[in-house]
Amino acid sequence: MAIEIKISLNEGIYLKDPQDSALGRKIIQHGILLIDQLGFEAFNFKKLAQEIGSTEASVYRYFENKKSLLTYLVSWYWVWVEYLIQRNTMNITDPKKKLEIIIQSFVSASEDNVNTEYIDENILHNIVIAEGTKAYKTKDVDEENGKGFFKNYKELITTVAEVILEIDPKFKYPYALASSLFEMSNDHIYFAKHLPKLTDIKEQENKYEEVEKMLNFFTGKLLGF
């Protein structure tokens, strides 16, 4: 029997935690599907309410606006990746091996998991790739950062940066490399499908494996192994 995983997020992002009720989980499940289907610009709470057979007012009890919902979904994904890294590196002491597992976790986080029944990680990954920066590349980023909205992303990057420093304590740019690896793991999957001239990754069945190889190549060159 699957054990449901609950992700803890900053309470300022939502009005009521959707993970705690059947309606809330439905909002998350179908919100993911609709944003992926329509795109963030065309998506709204009226369409979501119609999709789940509820009212706009009921959706607004959970989220102030659709930007808050997007931030929630992207934050959920950041914590999910952090969870996978912690789980997959639990008994690993070799930092080089840890970094390889981290990169593998970046790429494999999009695989659907039975323990998160109402969230399709594969479709959520599509949203993180195509829409994710809209959660934090906004005019309100400094104010929202001050409220801790992006704490989960910073914790994820810190985890990776600390492993990089284990490999090379004198490496000057551990946080830049850590955030670049995460963003590249998403960007180049998107580029392969939509903007192929921006990447060497090909749109094919093993594109995730190729992205993993590419990231390991870059880290090996930069960190000297």
Q: What is the pLDDT of residues 150-208, one digit of tens each?
A: 999 999 999 999 999 999 999 999 999 999 999 999 899 889 888 999 999 988 777 88
Q: Where are the domains of the chain?
A: 71-223
Q: What is the pLDDT of residues 89-135, one digit of tens each?
A: 999 999 999 999 999 999 888 776 666 788 998 899 999 999 999 99
Q: What is the pLDDT of residues 54-101, one digit of tens each?
A: 999 999 999 999 999 999 999 999 999 999 999 999 999 999 999 999
Please spell the DSSP secondary structure of the chain, one letter per residue: -PPPP-----TTS-SS-GGGSHHHHHHHHHHHHHHHHH-TTT--HHHHHHHHTS-HHHHHTT-SSHHHHHHHHHHHHHHHHHHHHHHHTTT---HHHHHHHHHHHHHHTTS--TTSTT--HHHHHHHHHHHGGGGTSSTTHHHHHHTTTTHHHHHHHHHHHHHHHHH-TT-S-HHHHHHHHHHHHHHHHHHHHH-GGG-S--SSTTHHHHHHHHHHHHHHHHHT-
CATH of the structural domain 71-223, one choice from 1.10.357, 1.10.238, 1.10.760, 1.10.3110: 1.10.357
